[in-house]
């Protein structure tokens, strides 16, 4: 038996609207993060359920969870239970698709979200890893490992010298402690995605400050999906 001390989450599980932490809470958090990464309202969304989710998505409320997250609703919010009605009231186009032939590299509880608004396209692949916890493993083709526990900034930039240092300098000037910083690129000298998780709340002026760094193409603020982030 592990000597790790048990916490309340281990005993009681996460605060959420049920029935399943993996198939409901986790899915809602992945969808919530996908909406935030998209950076605004969407015209159309497609939700692909892979692995065990493809078989159980209706019975375990994964459909309601995905729609709730896309509406900006976290799993502890009672509105999750009638999210489809809210989406219909807003006239949102959300397609739910079970996929039974998934790549072997996909986690058993994988959901892929494809969002569109005008010319903007966002594709997020996330895994619900148990206890309501998640891992975003791909954002627009970039390999990532983002769990949504902390405030995060996604910085799309040219893979050139000085960009990461410039981003770090601005965050230091704003008084942030960087919890993690990972860089993901398609190829040397091409576009790269810098994922920065920080302690504290990201002020509204941080995003435009980072956007001014030479070589930066786009900056997206992603609030925490643990229940404490701004909606």
Query: Does the structure show a pLDDT above 80 at 229?
Result: no
Residue 89 lies in a domain: yes
Res. 213: pLDDT tops 80: yes
Same domain, 89 and 180: no
For 177, the domain range is: 151-222
DSSP 21: I
Residue 118, judged by CB atoms within 10 A of its CB (0-12, 13-18, 19+), counts as exposed
141 and 163 belong to one structural domain: no
Are 134 and 189 in the same domain? Answer: no
Q: Which of 8-22, 160-174, 182-196 has the highest mean pLDDT?
A: 160-174
pLDDT of amino acid 217: 96
For residue 130, being part of any structural domain is answered with yes
Q: Quick check: is 231 in a domain?
A: no
Residue 113 lies in a domain: yes
Last residue of a domain, one of 146, 173, 192: 146
Number of structural domains (the chain) is 2
Whether residues 107 and 185 share a domain: the answer is no
State whether 34 and 67 are in the same domain. yes
Q: 172 pLDDT exceeds 50?
A: yes
Q: Are residues 132 and 20 in the same domain?
A: yes
Q: Which of 115, 131, 148, 140 is nearest to 30 (CA)?
A: 148
The string over 50-86, giving b where at least 16 C-beta atoms fall within 10 Å of a residue's C-beta and e elsewhere, is: bbbbbebbeebbbbbbbbbbbbebbbebeebeebbee
Same domain, 136 and 89: yes
Name the DSSP letter for residue 176. Answer: P
Q: Which of 100, 118, 146 is the last residue of a domain?
A: 146
Are 159 and 122 contained in the same domain? no
Note whether residue 182 is domain-resident. yes
Q: How confident is the model at residue 71 (pLDDT cuts 50, 70, 90)?
A: very high
Q: Domain boundary residue among 146, 181, 196?
A: 146
CATH of the domain at 29: 3.30.1330.90
Residues 132 and 204 in one domain: no
**pLDDT tens-place string over residues 110-163:** 999 999 999 999 999 999 998 889 999 999 999 999 999 999 999 999 999 999
Q: In terms of domains, do 102 and 26 share one? A: yes
Asked if the structure places residue 4 within a domain, the reply is: no
Residues 75 and 185 placed together within one structural domain of the fold: no
In terms of domains, do 101 and 166 share one?
A: no
Interacting residues of 145 by C-beta distance below 8 A, sequence separation 6+: 135, 136, 137, 182
């Amino acid at each position: 038996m592990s000597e790790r001390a048990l916490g309340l989450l281990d005993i009681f599980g996460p605060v959420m609207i049920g029935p399943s932490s993996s198939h409901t809470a986790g899915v809602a958090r992945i969808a919530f993060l996908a909406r935030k990464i998209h950076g605004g309202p969407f015209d159309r969304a497609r939700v692909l359920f892979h692995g065990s989710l493809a078989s159980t998505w209706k019975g375990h409320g994964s459909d309601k969870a995905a729609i709730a997250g896309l509406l900006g609703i976290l799993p502890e919010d009672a509105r999750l239970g009638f999210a489809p009605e809210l989406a219909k009231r807003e006239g949102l186009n959300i397609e739910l698709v079970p996929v039974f032939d998934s790549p072997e590299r996909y986690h058993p509880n994988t959901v892929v979200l494809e969002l569109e608004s005008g010319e903007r396209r966002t594709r997020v692949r996330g895994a619900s890893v148990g206890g309501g916890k998640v891992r975003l493993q791909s954002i627009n083709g970039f390999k990532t490992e983002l769990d949504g526990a902390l405030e995060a900034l996604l910085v799309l930039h040219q893979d050139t010298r000085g960009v990461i240092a410039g981003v770090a300098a601005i965050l230091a000037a704003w008084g942030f402690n960087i919890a993690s910083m990972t860089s993901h690129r398609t190829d040397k000298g091409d576009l790269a995605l810098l994922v920065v998780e920080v302690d504290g709340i990201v002020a509204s002026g941080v995003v435009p400050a980072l956007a001014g760094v030479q070589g930066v193409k786009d900056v997206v603020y992603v609030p925490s999906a643990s229940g404490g982030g701004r909606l």
